[in-house]
Chain A
Amino acid sequence: MPLRSSVTIVVSPRPRVGKTLLARMLVDFHLHEGREVAAFDLNQGDGTLAQFLPERTTSAGVVDVAGQIALFDRLVADDGVAKVIDLGNESFASFFAVAEQLGFIEEASKHEIVTAILFVLTPDASSVEAYGTLNKRFAGALLSPVHNEILGPAPHRGKYPLGRGALLLRMPLLAPGLRKYIAKAPFSFADTGADSGIPADFGVELQHWRRRMHIECRELMLRLLLADLSAAIRFVS
């Protein structure tokens, strides 16, 4: 895909909504597409992206200036590497405060990098409000709502005013028996062969789920490409 370069930020102000799983899938998708990818983990505790994909992931923070430089200067670097950020809920506010003050989205687009914010939808009022705020404050980014089916059939319905053309990314429900296999870090979705310890029928099921996720990711990348193109067209005219 002729996409120049992308930064995808997986967010929610709530814990335990599937952010890390989605971030893992995004990394897997980029690798599957033959793209270079770097992941950044802003989480504490267990089951973090850095534990699942230690070779691809940098633990990051935005509390001090040194951490901000390590993260944001990497994000806007002209290295052609796709970047995925797993933004823990405890860093949600501070990350976006810093990003706004620095003018991150604008700087990224100067470097021909498009930014997507993947927001995992939950029915609570604080999430609805945070979504609205991001929509206003980061107009230059593609804000894409995510429905994680494990959170219920449609936790967002009637609560999130999804604009026309907004892409709702769906995370299909994973068969219950499969979860234990993918919840043990480190784990790569690309590596589910016979020696991975996953029974053959589960392996097939997992690959099926992975493919559905890839379709969703591809759709997202297409939206990013379109957003990028339409911005370029506006610029020319």
Chain B
Amino acid sequence: MKTASLTGRAAVVSLALLFSLLVAWHLATRDTGTAQRMDPEYAKLMGVTATQGKSAMPGPIDVGAKLWEHLRRPFYDNGPNDKGVGIQLAFSIARVLTGYLLAILVAVPVGFLIGMSPLMSKALDPFIQVLKPISPLAWMPLALYTIKDSSLSAIFVIFICSLWPTLINTAFGVASVRREWLNVAKTLEVGTLRRAFTIILPAAAPTILTGMRISIGIAWLVIVAAEMLVGGTGIGYFVWNEWNNLSITNVITAILVIGIVGMLLDLMLARLTRLVTFPE
């Protein structure tokens, strides 16, 4: 009962914050400024920001209308350079998931290896330390040059950026499985493989999934930047294309959509983490 009322009160505060934010935003952008005096023939050639001194920043109502417009027909396809937000999101999500799953396929086994073998841990450490802090986008020119395919390059960039958190968390999780459990396994003469799957994996699973959760977050952060760089398709391209048109309304709409999808991806991983968590 206590928690329910806490959630309820939190929701009220959230809504109040949202409301005041929208009102402040609306008030800040409502000002149309003073109309410039111009020759009508000249004024006809100019945009509203120049003629009426209107702020280039859209208000919440403009953005809401735009958002509704995009959500109403998310899957339109007017040729290769103009597709609906839904299609663009699908492209982005497909890229993220491909790169991410590949990264997990590599990161978890390698993490196990590092966690179980102190020798490998020491030997691979310098490589990981050097490669980890590299901005994923710095790989882009190299990827374009060697892979020779912009779509695969974007996937590669996602792969490389989602690799490290999972790898490091897996190694950490595996290395910090409680000694007693391993000792029990040793007394019972359990083989290495069986030990890995029946004892270490369940014990390290929460840590591994936390790593995977961080990875998907980073992957979603990076895809937008990567797509802005190579263009073509995806939500990042959509942002770039609307920036090209200096349409702040569309850019804000896209930002909202990106945030919501990122949140959903994170929620999914959070659910999974909860499934494998165990009480000590």
- The yes or no verdict on A and B being binding partners is no
Instruction: Name A's B-contacting residues (CB within 8 A).
Output: none
- Point out residues on B near A: beta carbons under 8 Å: none
